[in-house]
Amino acid sequence: MFTFENKNIVITGSGSGIGKAVALLFAKQFAIVHVVDINKKDADNVVNEIETAGGKAFSYECNVTNQQNVIDAFKKINRIDVLVNSAGVSHVGKAHTTSETDLDRLYNVNIKGVYNCLFAAIPLMQQHGGGVIINICSIAALVGLQDRFAYSMTKGAVYSMTMSVARDYLADNIRCNSVSPARVHTPFVDGFIAKNYAGKEEEMFEKLSKSQPIGRMAKPEEIAALVLYLSSDEAAFITGTDYPIDGGFLKLNG
């Protein structure tokens, strides 16, 4: 079960965090992994890790906000069996404290970046008889989170794009689903705490961990496992669905 032998898996933002965990897990399942990231060094490091473990992977320096950049990278890959849109950025702020510059930055990566990858990948999937698209969304798309105005806006768009693509490409044998994590323990979280709560790192880490009823943050590998399942032939009957993976956040808080 869950084998991806000889399948091309394209993962954006896979030089670190959730995207990296997804890349490593697919490699273990014999996939040909295409590591797409704006940071070439990070992408190369992930490829080296996969190859050292006996897997097969390729790296691409790609800015998802630039449509031609994405088209050129995806054309090199040609056949895309699975696309995982994991590239994303975050921002802390309310509506009146979010600058136009920050709003544009989040739009360009989290919304336009996903669109650019869909725009480039879907015709290739159509040419080769279908494929699977997994968008990394967030519980921020589904509930109000404090100080996450712009981030929540962009993830709401990712949710909507997921449903639209799932509907529009049923006849092309293209499935599209999204995964909505709560807080995930990544280097971004550690950097955010260090930057904003110097001297109170342990206290804030504990507080953020306990905002999930289960009492901890998710591990990137746990998100990757759900992405792997939804991308597999075993999940062939699943499309147009968002999957919260949130330690009980949506249903058990309050």
Q: Would you list the domain boundaries of the chain?
A: 8-184+219-252
Q: Where does the pLDDT of residue 253 fall: very low under 50, low under 70, confident under 90, or very high at 90 and above?
A: confident
How far apart are the C-alpha atoms of 99 and 92, rounded to whole Å?
11
**pLDDT score, position 192:** 81
Superfamily of domain 8-184+219-252: NAD(P)-binding Rossmann-like Domain (3.40.50.720)
Active-site positions? Answer: 151
Helix pair 113-127, 67-77: axis angle to 10 deg: 30
126-144 confidence digits (pLDDT tens)? 999 999 999 999 999 999 9
Tokens 């939804």 correspond to 230
Report the chain's terminal Cα–Cα distance, integer Å. Answer: 38
- DSSP letters along 223-241, please? HHHHHHHHHSGGGTT--S-
Contacts 24+ apart (CB under 8 A), 105-110: 106/150, 106/151, 106/153, 106/154, 107/150, 107/154, 108/65, 109/64, 109/65, 110/151, 110/154, 110/155, 110/157, 110/158
How many Cβ atoms from other residues are within 10 Å of residue 228's Cβ? 23
Q: pTM of the full predicted structure? A: 0.96
Q: Regarding predicted confidence, which is higher, 195 or 175?
A: 175
* 254: pLDDT strictly greater than 80: no
**pLDDT score, position 43:** 98
Question: Which residues lie below 8 Å from residue 30, measured CB to CB, with a gap of 6+?
Answer: 3, 4, 5, 6, 55
26-70 confidence digits (pLDDT tens)? 999 999 999 999 999 999 999 999 999 999 999 999 999 999 999
How far apart are the C-alpha atoms of 24 and 89, rounded to whole Å?
21
Share of the chain above pLDDT 70, in %: 100
Are 75 and 50 within 8 A, CB to CB? no
**pLDDT score, position 203:** 93
